[in-house]
Structure 1
Amino acid sequence: MTRGPTDTLEMRVNGKVTSDDEVASSFSVSGPLTDTLGFIVSGSYSWWDGNVRNITLNKDVNSRKASSFRGKLKWEPSSDVAITLAANYNDGETHSGMPFINLADGALYRGRAGYTADVALPGITVGPNNQQVVDNVDSGTDYHGYGGYLRGEFGIGDMTLTSITSYDRFKLHDFVDQDQTVAPIDGNNIERGTFNSEMVTQEVRLQSPAEDKFRYTVGVYFADTSFNRPFYRGPEFSLAQWFATAKQRQIAGFVQADWELVQGLTLTGGARLQNEKVSYTFNDIYNGNGYWSGNASDTADTYKASVRYEFTPDISMFGTFATGYKGQTYDLSTGFNATRAAAGAIKPETSKDWELGLRSQFLDRAVTLNVTLFNTTYKNLQAQQIETIGDTQYFRLTNVGGLRTRGIETEIFLRPAQDLTLSAAGTYLDAKYTSFEGAACYVGQTEAQGCTGGSVKSQDLTGERLTSPTWNLQASADFTPALTDALRGVAQVGWQYQSATHANDPATQMDAFHIVNLGIGVRAEDKAWEVVAFVNNVFDQQYYATIINRASFFGNSAAANAILPRDFRRYGGVRFNLNF
């Protein structure tokens, strides 16, 4: 859902430049072409040099470049007809680098004598603040895609008939320095692949008048998706080359109704019945052109029911129960073989979700308080496991068992004065596996640490916490005092906190962190323009987006590298907005 055409000509321009070489800009132009035809055109471009240095290739990485364009025409020949045609295009690239942040003293690359850190990672000082890599082959992605939709809305008496037809095409090339070293032997292993996808959808729905006490929506949905992926890894070790295709077809019918039973009390019920068919082919080129194909289909229903009561126009409570469904699929990745083919499709994932919430405003809407309690259970959870083949780790999608997530989300908004806004939000999450036998051991895990079995060892994670933080907290303040009749100042502060991330693998454990961002600037009273200078991560707190256990690269000695977030180091900049 994006902004539609406006009744008058409007233009918006946004931009940003930073001290660490980020440039971003966007624009939109919207207005009428005739009395019945409107348009909107928008685009964006962003480029960031990255915060990791590849000292082998002498370039900055962990970078990104992206551009996108959107256009929309909306024709309203009468009050009962509206037809919208929209199109979009996006293009971009990324260059990645994952610095090693931990390496045991004396660790040897692939366990080979003499292949110390100085040989495999020359010039790198491994440590928690490392921002250098030595990849001798560029890693990253190069992608582009396009698509659009045709939407028609037709008044039929007091009903509304809506039809939406869409098409989407996307291609992404990925390239990886798989060993992430410059070791003279086995230090040139690469991965190359492409994701190609195409999707067509059609939805038709009929809606009753929104102002009726009993209102409903009924509709049908169709989607057809196709996908293919060529993949290569080599030439030194963990050799692989394969080509896979997948298709999915879905047909569904759905209905939802809202019934205002008495003043302030609304009951809602909805149901969806869907049939899915999935199919695949897998050609293992490296292993003698092994070829497998298969298909599966399934019919499933999901539903929800909720009750909402408004004590006053500003205070209400609700309770909701809903079921969820994620359809069958195949894990088309390295290691696919006759055993996986014989096992068939990965089972559907289902869920049951309870929510209880409060929505409230006080003191003439100067105070807003929203609270939501939630509890969700998953059966046949689809998730990735680490599978070790030889000396290489692979992420394999499979049914891992059951999961339960529960917690509380809270939002508070305060406006103590007309020019001051305060906000805070917090989430407490308790997520545990209710069933996860046969989970892969992490590299280096011992029998005493729970890794048991014969030639293929595993661990039981039943009852263990999910790899996730327990607490996420945010707070912000926005102060816009009047400077003159035409100008306002802008002062902003934001704070975010994340508790330590629980991890079954000690090598991937992440500590708690907090980030503070500041901004100060000026804007026009009518918001026609705004300029703000900002500093993000004011106290230069280092943290990681992800930590990966790389012990398998160094003969099972302790080793880990990390994906660095955008604000791994403090940076500043200026952003501006123009509206006219």
Structure 2
Amino acid sequence: MHIRVSSAGQYLIAVAATALSIGQAHAQASSQAPLPGIVTEGPDGEVVVTTTAQKRFENIQDVPLAVQVVNPAQLEAQGVHHFQELERVMPSLVVRPANQPVNTNVSIRGVGTFAYAIGVESSVAVTVDGAPVAFLARAIGDLPDVAMIEVLRGPQSTLYGKAASAGLIKIMTTQPTNDLHVRANARLTDDHEFAEQLSITGPLTDTLGYVVTGGFTHWDGNLRDTVRGKRIGGRDTITTRGKLRWRATPDLTFTLSGNHAEGSTAFGRPFVRLDPAARLRSDPALTPAVVLPGVEAGADNQSVAYNARSGTDYHGSGALLRSEWDLGKLNFLSLTNYDRFKLYDYLDFDDTASSAPLGNAREIGRFGSRLFTQEVRILSPGDSAFRYALGLYYADTRFERPFERGPGFALSHLHATAGSRQIAGFGQLDWEFVPSLTATVGGRVQNERVRYTFDDLLVAQRDPQATHHYAGHDSDDAATYRLGLTYQATRDLMLFTTYATGYKGQAYDLTTGFDQKRADGGPIRPERSRDKEIGVRSQWFDRRLTTNLTFFGTHYRDLQAQTVEFYADGSYRNRLTNVGRLVTRGVEVESAARPTGDLTLAANATYLRARYLSFSSAPCFPLQTVAQGCVGSPARQDLSGERLPQAPTWRLDASAEYAPELGQHYRAVMQAAWQYQGAMSYAPRDPELWQRAYHIANISLGLRDADRHWDAAVFVDNVFDQRHYTSLVNNANNFGGQVATAALLPRDFRRFGGIRVGLSF
């Protein structure tokens, strides 16, 4: 096995070695306080998990919200090292990757945003250390310095704003500590992956603490390009983060953090089904053997044939200032955030090695974003009978998208910009008006202005006198609210019910095909949701067993979605629109147990029924016939009553860790993890985009010392070598109306194994 380590990787190795030597030198002087995290052990051995779902640290068992929290140990057990892999430990979450992260779809309870236009936010928001990211692509990467990750399910717009109409993912990174701690990890696999992470945290003075973290990952990928003779599908990433925390007075603290990420990816989508009669662009000479040399299409295919690069290059940096002032009866918090990000994307659009004039098409583009946000909050003490959280929020976001596709077909050449300015005020009141019974009232009001420019450079090239430049703006006022009632029946049993509304702002359809008609139509309508929940939070057997249930039903109106219009010549046009109405209902279960001090168990499950209530003008899928419901001109189908895409009925995961003592100084560590996903479709009714049910099992066996100064393990992921896809693409229109289905393969498409080691002082 050959592992290539970049200069950045070599640098991080050197830094890790130096840091470890420092840690060893100071180990005796350090008090060895535990690193900050979300899971602690109570006085009776019970597991205590904290969450920030309501913008304050609370025991998750006391929070009347559908929220799941995972820590780094749980992520490691399930082999989760990248944002796209979070669905392995969160059954209500499904992540559907694409050729580049801007097109990735993230769904919670079956609802997400399938949209390619800049300025269209996801229905699932993401925050890092409390600050929002401009768009999902900024968050999709490695997870080298995570302290905890929370997923809030259902509309969260009241406390978290307009991009959380379906849910929220909160990522919290490593915080400064009062004592010196050094943690270094490395991972090496038999499928050509090498990764390393380093975290150093501690004090500089009595009032100044710091964190320095860094990570490097190289993976060759699990695909082979037969034309260029190299492995693709992998990534090279570098991530760094630094924090300084200054306690100016006992009551006033400032934390300044900065981050930088850069990397590249190599993308491929192999054909898993291809009719021998298929001809690229219906050209009799462009047979599969000609345009896909060395590729044998099939369910296990891991080969592609590209004559142009497919992948991304990206870099981004940001800074966050957190100011906290304890005023005794209340706490003042300010978050000032600035971020810039650029991603260059490339795609061999025809998915072949064809160089024929008609069959050759490539995409080249760039995404740029700039974000500034300012939030201020006032929080009351968390242990009083009357609690409140009040805040103001301001955001200014700007996007830029130059893009070109051609020269053979599906021509496009555009330059678009989008921006938004948002001002909002929010608050939530919790009042225990009688013992054990608490009422919750929350609300948010906001104003948003959106603007855009669009230049169709292809039209300008063909006819300089034709209209090719468009610009516009609009504004909208909105209000959302949340009502709840919580009953603390006993110390270990809590019941709650909530009613919440969600909102996602209007947006322009800035994609290929933008014209005067779209400009005159203005932005598409905002997306709105209404959610009802009933929940039970319980602990048993001296709090060694935790079982939480949530029953939910959410209605969406005017969901913003990307549709595709196909034409007889094989070309297509993306179009952003409002889906009529849909509903998602189900049950979610989270459980954790510690039968003994050596054994920890966890299991989670989601049962979901998500369907369209009205969607009468949905686009047809390639090869769909009149008998299958494709009618009219332009062709349409009625999806009312159909199950939503990317919404399996069942998703489950379970994990176990057994760590018995081996003498006085060591512990064996045995971990097992399992996940199951039911069958689902990546597009309604399309038989080519049906993903069968599958299950994945991971195991590891390791050793660590009693003080957790070091650990080492060997692991195997996808033990039973189960094949599955993270996305499917129907390319029949590009192959003369014959079956041509390509797939995106997950990291664990095939069984792989490796070793991981960690040192901590």
TM-score (norm 2): 0.75
What is the correspondence of 1:173-252 to structure 2 with a 5 Å cutoff? 173-185=344-356, 186-252=358-424
- Asked if the contact 2:176–2:211 (Cα under 8 Å) also holds between the matched residues in 1, the reply is yes
1:330 aligns with one of 503, 508, 530:
508
Aligned to 2:676: 497
Letter in 2 for 1:578: L
2:656 aligns with one of 471, 474, 477:
477
Question: Equivalents in 1 of 2:202, 2:595: separation in Å?
Answer: 37
Identity in percent:
49
> Shift of residue 403 of structure 1?
1.3
Aligned to 1:80: 251
- Asked if the contact 1:180–1:187 (Cα under 8 Å) also holds between the matched residues in 2, the reply is no
Question: Equivalents in 2 of 1:436, 1:497: separation in Å?
Answer: 30
- Asked if the contact 2:360–2:409 (Cα under 8 Å) also holds between the matched residues in 1, the reply is no
1:357 aligns with one of 535, 538, 557:
535
> Shift of residue 444 of structure 1?
0.8
> Shift of residue 394 of structure 1?
3.9
Per-residue CA deviations over 1:281-308 (Å, capped at 9, x if unaligned) read 0000001261111111100000001111
> Shift of residue 437 of structure 1?
1.3
Aligned to 1:38: 209
Letter in 2 for 1:522: L
- Asked if the contact 1:276–1:297 (Cα under 8 Å) also holds between the matched residues in 2, the reply is yes
Question: Equivalents in 2 of 1:577, 1:409: separation in Å?
Answer: 34
What is the correspondence of 1:435-446 to structure 2 with a 5 Å cutoff? 435-446=614-625
The higher-RCO structure (CA 8 Å, 6+ apart) is 2
**Secondary structure at 1:176's aligned position in 2?**
strand
Question: Equivalents in 2 of 1:250, 1:534: separation in Å?
Answer: 47
Long gaps (5+) in structure 1: none
**Secondary structure at 1:452's aligned position in 2?**
coil
Letter in 2 for 1:356: I
Per-residue CA deviations over 1:336-367 (Å, capped at 9, x if unaligned) read 11111111101000000111111111111221
Per-residue CA deviations over 1:422-456 (Å, capped at 9, x if unaligned) read 221111110001111110000111111100002x1
Aligned to 2:107: none
Per-residue CA deviations over 1:504-526 (Å, capped at 9, x if unaligned) read 21110111111111110111112
2:693 paired with 1:512: yes
2:195 aligns with one of 24, 27, 32:
24
2:313 aligns with one of 142, 155, 174:
142
> Shift of residue 157 of structure 1?
4.6
2:232 paired with 1:61: yes
> Shift of residue 578 of structure 1?
1.6
Letter in 2 for 1:487: Y
What is the correspondence of 1:289-300 to structure 2 with a 5 Å cutoff? 290-300=468-478
Question: Equivalents in 2 of 1:233, 1:475: separation in Å?
Answer: 44
Question: Equivalents in 1 of 2:413, 2:674: separation in Å?
Answer: 47
Count of aligned residue pairs for this structure pair: 579
- Asked if the contact 1:136–1:188 (Cα under 8 Å) also holds between the matched residues in 2, the reply is no
Letter in 1 for 2:537: R
**Cα RMSD (Å) of the superposition?**
1.2
Aligned to 1:549: 730
Aligned to 1:460: 638
Letter in 1 for 2:689: T
- Asked if the contact 1:323–1:353 (Cα under 8 Å) also holds between the matched residues in 2, the reply is yes
- Asked if the contact 2:281–2:359 (Cα under 8 Å) also holds between the matched residues in 1, the reply is no
**Secondary structure at 1:231's aligned position in 2?**
strand
- Asked if the contact 1:544–1:564 (Cα under 8 Å) also holds between the matched residues in 2, the reply is yes
1:404 aligns with one of 583, 598, 602:
583
Compare the two structures and name the one with the higher helix fraction.
Answer: 2
Question: Equivalents in 2 of 1:117, 1:157: separation in Å?
Answer: 73
2:275 paired with 1:94: no
- Asked if the contact 1:424–1:476 (Cα under 8 Å) also holds between the matched residues in 2, the reply is yes
Letter in 2 for 1:156: L
Aligned to 1:421: 600
- Asked if the contact 1:56–1:135 (Cα under 8 Å) also holds between the matched residues in 2, the reply is yes
Letter in 1 for 2:547: L
Letter in 1 for 2:666: L
**Secondary structure at 1:124's aligned position in 2?**
coil
Aligned to 1:70: 241
2:716 paired with 1:535: yes
Letter in 2 for 1:379: R
Aligned to 2:287: 116
2:447 paired with 1:278: no
Letter in 2 for 1:317: L
Aligned to 2:703: 522
Question: Equivalents in 2 of 1:147, 1:93: separation in Å?
Answer: 19
- Asked if the contact 1:490–1:520 (Cα under 8 Å) also holds between the matched residues in 2, the reply is yes
